[in-house]
């Protein structure tokens, strides 16, 4: 203390008596000004919201989650089956896991039952969605139970269903998040999978953000979207739900325009969403079209493709959680609950909502035939889409022996097109020959 005090007194004596005092004083004032600014800025940074890390007490890693799901399937082979299918495009490799639920699997005829296709984890940063997939599968397999739920009534509904669950559509993007890039939503090569579908693909709004919304080099340029397209064509679901987080909402088509579909299909979809919102979500969710409700238009989305091209009668996007108070840089907290109470509430509320969706959807689907959604002239899909779906279904049914068909798909397309082209040319030549052979007869008759 004494030594410090003497140093202070010496410093004061130096400043007050030194002839350099007058010349140094302005310089010292400038230094003091910048030092004070730095300290204030440092204090501001210190007190700003920190970036929240992944809470591994609540959330599985991607590998652990897929292992848990695989183990669940192996414990319940009478209800569940699993496939993990690799895919690649121009050196980029992806892998997709699909779990199929049928309550009495040995007697399951998928085409005669009500079919539901659910996709989770399309954006890497939305970890809570894949946790919901696991919770739903655990409830379907009867390893977990929801409170106040009549299991007998649930089983009556499930007897008539086949449900396909993609628990983590964007595995590569999820791994980037786990490596520390908590705001990453795109896949492993920087493409937003929910902008890579063909309906209104590539259109950019004034507020377009290439980091957030990169649509890729072409529709279906990414293995993940190619896989999901094949799955939707082969499975022919009655209900599609794309599960996201970032807010609380129940969206129906469309995302690329500020409107919903016309007619009774739209009214029935809205009615279902209103019931879910009231029964399980305390009317806190936005309901309507994604483009009309969220505040911006999204082009090339999965839900718009499922509704307009695949002709899924009921196509939805569910947003299951969002923290509006989180900083825009604090992405884990913005998109995922960080405490166990909220975590379990989100999973329980939305699991219950999905069980109700299964019941309501089955009751509604009889009135939602594809002819009610679109005219017959709009039902055609491309040859590529047809072959993709056909080969995917054959591969699923017969296993790895059918991989040669997958590898030869491009050749089959080429041969099919050549066959069509040759048929057209032969028909043209035939008609030309008939025309030439009939001209003299017509000429003679005219004489």
Residue 294: per-residue pLDDT: 82
Is residue 319 among the annotated active site residues? yes
pLDDT band for position 303 (cuts 50, 70, 90): very high
- Find out whether 127 and 177 touch, Cβ atoms under 8 Å: yes
Average pLDDT in the 237-248 region? 97
What are the extents of the domains in the chain? 62-382, 408-446
Strand order in the sheet with 247-252: 80-89, 92-101, 161-166, 114-119, 239-244, 314-321, 247-252, 286-289
Average pLDDT in the 196-204 region? 95
Residue in 187, 185, 183, 169 with CA at minimum distance from that of residue 89: 187
Calculate the CA dihedral of residues 259, 260, 262, 265 and round it to 10 degrees. Answer: 180
Query: How many residues make up the chain in this entry?
Result: 447
Q: Tell me: pLDDT of 289 over 70.
A: yes
Of residues 427 and 180, which shows the higher confidence score? 180
pLDDT tens digit sequence for 7-39: 333 333 434 444 444 454 455 444 544 444 443
pLDDT band for position 443 (cuts 50, 70, 90): very low
CATH homologous superfamily, domain 62-382: Zn peptidases (3.40.630.10)
pLDDT tens digit sequence for 72-115: 999 999 999 999 999 888 999 999 999 999 998 877 876 779 99
* β-bridge mates for residue 117, sequence order: 164, 240
pLDDT band for position 202 (cuts 50, 70, 90): very high
pLDDT tens digit sequence for 353-407: 999 999 998 887 655 544 343 333 344 445 555 455 444 444 444 444 443 444 4
Q: What's the mean pLDDT when you consider all of the chain?
A: 81
Q: List phi, psi (to 5°) of 123.
A: -110, 130
pLDDT band for position 148 (cuts 50, 70, 90): confident
pLDDT band for position 48 (cuts 50, 70, 90): low
pLDDT tens digit sequence for 313-349: 999 999 999 999 999 999 999 999 999 999 999 999 9
Average pLDDT in the 416-430 region? 72
Of 319, 393, 406, 411, the active-site residue reads: 319
Q: What percent of the chain has pLDDT over 70?
A: 73
Measured CA to CA, the distance from residue 73 to residue 99 in angstroms comes to 8
Q: What's the whole-model pTM score?
A: 0.76
Residue 427: per-residue pLDDT: 76
Q: Which residue has the tokens 């007490």?
A: 57
pLDDT tens digit sequence for 178-194: 999 999 999 999 999 99
């Amino acid at each position: 203390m004494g030594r410090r005090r003497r140093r202070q007194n010496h410093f004061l004596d130096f400043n007050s008596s030194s002839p350099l005092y007058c010349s140094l004083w302005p310089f010292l004032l400038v230094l003091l000004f910048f030092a004070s600014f730095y300290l204030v800025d440092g204090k501001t940074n210190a007190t700003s919201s920190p970036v929240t890390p992944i809470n591994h007490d609540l959330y599985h890693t991607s590998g652990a989650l897929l292992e848990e799901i695989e183990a669940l399937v192996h414990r319940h082979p009478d209800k569940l089956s699993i496939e993990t299918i690799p895919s690649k495009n121009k050196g980029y490799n992806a892998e997709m896991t699909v779990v199929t639920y049928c309550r009495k699997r040995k007697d399951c005829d998928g085409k005669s039952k009500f079919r539901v296709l659910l996709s989770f984890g399309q954006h890497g940063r939305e970890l809570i969605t894949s946790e919901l997939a696991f919770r739903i599968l655990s409830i379907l397999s009867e390893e977990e139970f929801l409170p106040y739920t009549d299991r007998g009534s649930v089983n009556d509904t499930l007897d008539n269903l086949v449900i396909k669950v993609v628990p983590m559509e964007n595995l590569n993007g999820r791994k980037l998040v786990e490596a520390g890039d908590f705001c990453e939503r795109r896949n492993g090569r920087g493409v937003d999978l929910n902008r890579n579908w063909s309906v209104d693909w590539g259109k950019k709004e004034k507020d377009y953000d290439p980091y957030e919304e990169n649509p890729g080099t072409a529709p279906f340029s990414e293995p993940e979207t190619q896989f999901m397209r094949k799955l939707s064509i082969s499975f022919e679901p009655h209900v599609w739900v794309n599960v996201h987080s970032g807010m609380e909402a129940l969206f129906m088509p469309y995302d690329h325009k500020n409107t919903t579909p016309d007619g009774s299909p739209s009214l029935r979809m809205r009615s279902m969403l209103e019931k879910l919102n009231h029964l399980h979500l305390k009317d806190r969710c936005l309901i309507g079209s994604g483009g009309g409700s969220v505040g911006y238009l999204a082009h090339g989305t999965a839900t718009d493709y499922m509704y307009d091209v695949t002709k899924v009668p009921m196509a939805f996007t569910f947003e299951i959680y969002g923290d509006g108070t989180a900083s825009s840089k604090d992405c884990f907290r913005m998109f995922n609950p960080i405490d166990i109470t909220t975590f379990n509430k989100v999973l329980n509320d939305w699991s219950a909502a999905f069980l109700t969706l299964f019941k309501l959807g089955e009751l509604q689907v009889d009135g939602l035939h594809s002819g009610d959604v679109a005219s017959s002239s709009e039902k055609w899909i491309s040859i590529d889409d047809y072959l993709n779906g056909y080969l995917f279904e054959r591969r699923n049914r017969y296993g790895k022996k059918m991989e040669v068909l997958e590898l030869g798909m491009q050749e089959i397309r080429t041969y099919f097109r050549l066959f069509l082209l040759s048929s057209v040319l032969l028909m043209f030549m035939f008609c030309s020959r008939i025309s030439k052979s009939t001209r003299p007869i017509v000429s003679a008759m005219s004489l």
